[in-house]
Amino acid sequence: MQRNYWPTTEWQVLDPTTLRMDSEKLSKLETVIKSEYGNINGIVVVRNGYIAYERYYNGYGPEDTHHVASVTKSIISALIGIAIDAGYIKNVDQKVLDFFPEYVPDAAHRQKREITIRNLLTMTAPYPFEDWHEPLDRMCMQPDWIKYTLDMLGRKGNIGTFKYSTAGAHLLSSIITRSTGKSAREFANEHLFKPIGMKKIPDHEMKSFGFEDLFGKNVKGWVKDPNGNSTGGWGLTLIPRDMARFGFLYLNRGIWNNNHIISDTWIDESTAMNPNKYGYLWWLREEDGVFAHLALGDGGNVICCIPEKDLVIAIASEFIINPRDRWTLIKELIIPTVID
């Protein structure tokens, strides 16, 4: 797809009608967000590479960063792809334990030796907890999160069964560091964020590892564990326009201004529909003939890419328990504004 410009330094804003969107329908978003999605702090809708709609709420503005929670996972997925393209990691079928030679598993846990990067990316590695009941707080109390997770990995269950794990994504962050010599934050700044014009993520000292430091109001830059690994499953802070940049990179199958930032093969593999409706740390949706891949984070943080509509929707939200599903908003109020 040929683009007239790239939003590396600045996004261009166009009238929705110029971008073949129904501006009357779009104007209804405001009321619905205010009345039904009160924890949305910022939304950016990009169509054909231009901002068609952008609003901020609850005292936030375009320069305010948000903790995007599990959206971080999709960034980690991109970094794994970049590290494979650059030869730091062989391929997705490389064994996880290859990267942790100091870790010697118990002879009884043979399955642990078989788990691959692909299993971590697709959430098909076994763990001893019940699905959707991961004891993340327990990991956060450990002096060594990596050892704790490796101890859990491969216990109970079988390789290949879907089980969502944030600790597994944290192992991927450590694999990036072990293979490249840089934290995920440093590697992302250099190989992903800078080339596409996203803000540099600064390093912040972790003074303590309580709830507020890891998940709450003290989250800054990109959270790290006690050994300096950037958190793989959450902890990154972004502005909505940069969330949209990352989505736009995927919409363009890894190309930015004629440069291959991520290989198209990686993008295709990451977002290929499968029975779990989960790619390489991306959620997949197909509804009414519309395919979307989404980076989703707690509280309703979203980067939604809809390739066939040339549409990216970035939503930054305040964390609340059980927020309204953002897909409803996207499906009912944003997709219908596109005039095919």
Specify the CATH class of 67-238 in words.
alpha beta
Band of pLDDT at residue 4, cut at 50, 70 and 90: confident
Q: What percent of the chain has pLDDT over 70?
A: 100
At 171, which helix (H) or strand (E)? helix 166-180
Which position has the token pair 């002879």? 107
Nearest to 124 by CA among 266, 274, 224, 229: 274
pLDDT bin (cut points 50, 70, 90) of residue 252 is very high
Query: Residue 105: what pLDDT?
Result: 87
Residue with tokens 């093969």: 265
Least confident range from 37-51, 183-197, 209-223: namely 209-223
Instruction: Return the exposure string of 3-25: e unless at least 16 CB atoms fall within 10 Å of the residue's CB, then b.
Output: eeebbeeebeeeebeebebeeee
CA-nearest of 266, 277, 70, 297 to 169 is 70
From CA 244, how far away is CA 12, in angstroms rounded?
Answer: 13
Per the CB < 8 A criterion, the answer to whether 123 and 166 are in contact is no
Residue 283: per-residue pLDDT: 98
In tens, the pLDDT along 81-119 reads: 999 999 999 999 999 999 999 998 887 788 999 999 999
| Calpha distance 79→245 (Å, rounded) | 15
Please state which CATH number belongs to domain 1-64+241-340.
3.40.710.10
Please report which confidence band the pLDDT of residue 140 belongs to, taking 50, 70 and 90 as the band edges.
very high
Model confidence at 1, in pLDDT bands (50, 70, 90)?
low
Distance CA 254, CA 248 (A): 9
DSSP secondary structure of 10-39: ---B--GGGGTB-HHHHTTHHHHHHHH-TT
Domain boundaries, the chain: 1-64+241-340, 67-238
Q: What would the mean pLDDT of 295-300 be, rounded to a whole number? A: 96
Q: Are 300 and 329 in contact (CB under 8 A)?
A: no
Beta carbons within 10 angstroms of residue 151's beta carbon: 17
**Beta-sheet pairing, 311-317 with 40-47:** antiparallel
Report pLDDT for 228: 97
Give residue-wise pLDDT tens across range 230-250: 999 999 999 999 999 999 999
C-alpha 158/C-alpha 126 separation (Å) is 6
Per-residue pLDDT band at 57 (split at 50, 70, 90): very high
What secondary structure, in 3-state letters, does 63-127 show? CCCEECCCHHHHHHHHHHHHHHHCCCCCCCCCEHHHHCCCCCCCCCCHHHHHCEHHHHHCCCCCC
Give which of 83, 166, 81, 149 is closest to 112, Cα–Cα.
149
The separation between CA 171 and the C-alpha centre of its own chain, rounded to angstroms, equals 15
Quick check: 254 pLDDT over 80?
yes
pTM metric for this prediction: 0.97
